[in-house]
Amino acid sequence: DIQMTQSPSSLSASVGDRVTITCRASQRISNFINWYQHKPGKAPKVLIYAASTLQGGVPSRFSGSGSGADFTLTISSLQAEDFATYYCQQSYSTPLTFGQGTRLEIK
Amino acid sequence: EEQLVESGGGLVQPGGSLRLSCAASGFTFSRYWMSWVRQAPGKGLEWVANIRQDGNEENYVDSVKGRFTISRDNVKNSLYLQMDSLRAEDTAVYYCARHQGDVFDFNWFDPWGQGTLVTVSS
């Protein structure tokens, strides 16, 4: 099984900050990685798919990069509505696996 | 609007069974792979199982193999998860999600339902 390791597990930041979350796969997965935002009591929402493609309707302050085994999600200027938990997920092989999550909190 | 609505969660004793349902609307259900994903209390997301468009291929995470069965009814636009021999560690919110993209190429989960809570406890 492919393990996805996210860092940090939690992060405190302020509105307007630039934030980067990293995800490392236990083996090379090309660019078969997706990023999701999850708020309590809500359905998770895809932000980025195939490592760097922005899902329609997602603000352009979100971006993804990387290939192989190391990936990043960047939020260029945090907004109040961005405080949530973020997950990476590999779609390279079954079982599909998620990172453990990064909880983004208000400083 | 594309929508997924789960139902069937509740409290069940260890060793018991429960059947979850997911009603799809706003898109052609029969054209898509579908998955169940769960989140245990205070934990992250865990993929549980998926099923091919025609129902003739299923995949499971090891921890539920032999206990859970995913199925679908393309006439009723519904996805199911039959959960048997339930354990305390199966306690979670269970989400259904559609595979967008090509399962044999790039694919991602979109949309997701709001989830249904399953609690396994005596």
Contact assignment for B62 to A34 by CB distance below 8 Å: no
* Token digits of residue A30: 């090309």
Whether residues A96 and B114 touch (CB distance < 8 A) is answered with: no
Is pLDDT larger for residue A25 or for residue B103? A25
Mean pLDDT for chain B? Answer: 97
Chain A residues with CB-CB distance to B101 below 8 A: 49-50
The predicted-structure confidence for A25-55, as pLDDT tens digits, reads as follows: 999 999 999 999 999 999 999 999 999 999 9
Interface contact flag, A96 B50, Cβ < 8 Å: yes
Interface of B with A (CB under 8 A): 35, 37, 44-47, 50, 59-62, 95, 97, 100-101, 106-115
Cβ contact, residue pair B109, A44, below 8 Å: yes
- Residues with Cβ within 8 Å of residue A52, at least 6 apart in sequence: A31, A63, A64, A65, A66
Size of interface A-B (CB pairs under 8 A): 64
Cα B89 to Cα A105, B4, B85: the distances in Å are 28, 25, 11
What residues in B contact A97, CB-CB < 8 Å? 47
Helices (H), A22-94: none
Dihedral, CA atoms, B26, B106, A94, B80, nearest 10 degrees?
0
Q: What is the predicted pLDDT for the residue at A106?
A: 87
